[in-house]
Chains A and B, each alone.
Chain A
Amino acid sequence: ELKVEQNPLFLSMQEGKNYTIYCNYSTTSDRLYWYRQDPGKSLESLFVLLSNGAVKQEGRLMASLDTKARLSTLHITAAVHDLSATYFCAGGFSDSNYQLIWGAGTKLIIKP
């Protein structure tokens, strides 16, 4: 059974700092997804990571995937207040028709 674990679950940081959110999964995942959710809002797709060593960047966010370590990271560079949100990682598997198995989410608060 696939399990996805994120840490930390809560992160409060200052603007301008760097930090990393970790996503561990328990078995080989075909795809690893990162989503952002603002309070009471929908889920916004950030990154889809398909293969070992994949790295994707969008603005101050960079996601990477290490399939051997079963680890994905979401790195935040020089954080700004607008990045405050809850970030989820999710794994997708071909043998389960790519239903997404979700991490618990990381609530990120960036203070000015």
Chain B
Amino acid sequence: DSGVTQTPKHLITATGQRVTLRCSPRSGDLSVYWYQQSLDQGLQFLIQYYNGEERAKGNILERFSAQQFPDLHSELNLSSLELGDSALYFCASSVYPGGYGYTFGSGTRLTVV
């Protein structure tokens, strides 16, 4: 157990639907990052939060949004899902941006059918 908890582990949903992925960072970590891993795009940075505030955005589609709550857990919302959104979504946390190493959760495998 890395200390970063992601739920659910697996998610199968239909095109056009909306899903929410949840991440609880490691105790003491204030920064949360979301990454998408797909066969064709590899690992892509989506978005970063630090202590509740958005700090950086990467290749995140407008259909996707995220937030970090006061208790530091984060949620990634994916809407109007398309087949191409099928991927493994990872959450990582660190004490602060650029902290020594990032701890990754086990990921949520999203399958859009």
A binds B: yes
Which A residues fall within an 8 A CB radius of B?
A: 30-31, 33, 35, 40-45, 48, 88, 90, 92, 94, 96-102, 104-105
Contacts of A31 in B (CB 8 A): 98
Q: Which bracket fits the contact residues of B?
A: 20 to 34
Contacts of A48 in B (CB 8 A): 100-101
Q: Is the CB of A99 within 8 A of B42?
A: no
Which residue from A45, A97, A104 sits with its C-beta under 8 Å from B101?
Answer: A45
Q: Is the interface of A mostly helix, strand, loop or mixed?
A: strand
- Taking the closest CB of chain B, its distance from the CB of A34, in whole angstroms, is 10
Which residue from A30, A88, A105 sits with its C-beta under 8 Å from B98?
Answer: A30
CA distance A99 to B94 in the complex (A): 11
CA distance A45 to B100 in the complex (A): 10
